[in-house]
Amino acid sequence: MSTATLENKLDRALELVGPIDPEIAETYTSLEARVLAQALENVERAERRLREIQKLVGDVNEVLLYAAC
Q: What is the pLDDT of residues 3-27, one digit of tens each?
A: 889 889 999 999 999 999 999 999 9
The domains of the chain are located at 3-68
DSSP state of 2: -
CA–CA distance, 62 with 45 (Å, rounded to integer): 26
Q: What is the pLDDT of residues 43-69, one digit of tens each?
A: 999 999 989 988 888 776 676 667 776
**CA angle centred on 24, ends 21 and 26, rounded to 5°:** 110
Indicate the pTM of the whole model.
0.76
Provide the residue type at 29 as one letter.
Answer: T
Can you list the alpha helix ranges (DSSP code H) found in 18-30?
Answer: 22-27
